[in-house]
Structure 1
Amino acid sequence: MDELTYTIQTRTRQDENQTSTWLKQQGISPEHFAQTQIYLLQAQKVATNILKNYAKLLEQNQANTLNNYLRAMTNTKKRNKLTQAQAHKVMNIGTQANRKLFKQHRQKR
């Protein structure tokens, strides 16, 4: 193996590790990333970020909905049965939390 090939392979491994780390921080499994519909991944990211950072803005039933969605995303059979409507419900909860956050931010001024 020549030096150029070694350098390329090393850089590729570093990039893949960075990508995997970022995906995990967003609540997305790198192993299932390529096989999952994009709208499901977007909803998973929203659910993870809202629960991690702004759970206090959620009502109990909204938090339960997000937790149930995240649990379904970790199970392959359940993930395959998730619909676009369920993903939209999660994203709508994220939008509501974002509106509450913005309203709080405006009141602080």
Structure 2
Amino acid sequence: MSCSPHYWSLRCGRLERESGDSSALASQLREKLQHEMTLTNHWRQQVDLRHCRMSLFVAELNHYNFAGEPLKGSLVSLKGRHKTRPQVIDPLLPPPLSGLCGSLLAPSA
């Protein structure tokens, strides 16, 4: 969107008009900001979902070993690293959980 010779800036949480007539420009800017807010909200939801899934996956690994037997203590950090086996899980791959924040599933033996 070209705003010359009129341009706007976002400062201190409010829009300030720098120059020129604002009627048409304000309407365009409102639409642009609404679109960006929609994208931002979608991104936040994705981040929340990813964090939730990763947290559940780490909690699952903290309670079960790879044979499905309960563990004593925690072996996995929040970064998804195993103390005795480095790079056991890839933190970039989503864990196989069912549902948005489904119940913890014991790994199959």
Scaled by the length of structure 2, the TM-score of the pair is 0.36
Select the structure that is richer in helix. Answer: 1
Question: Who wins on radius of gyration, i.e. which is larger?
Answer: 2
Of the two structures, which has the highest relative contact order with CA contacts closer than 8 Å and spacing of 6 or more? 1
Which structure shows the higher strand fraction?
2
Q: Structure 1-normalised TM-score?
A: 0.36
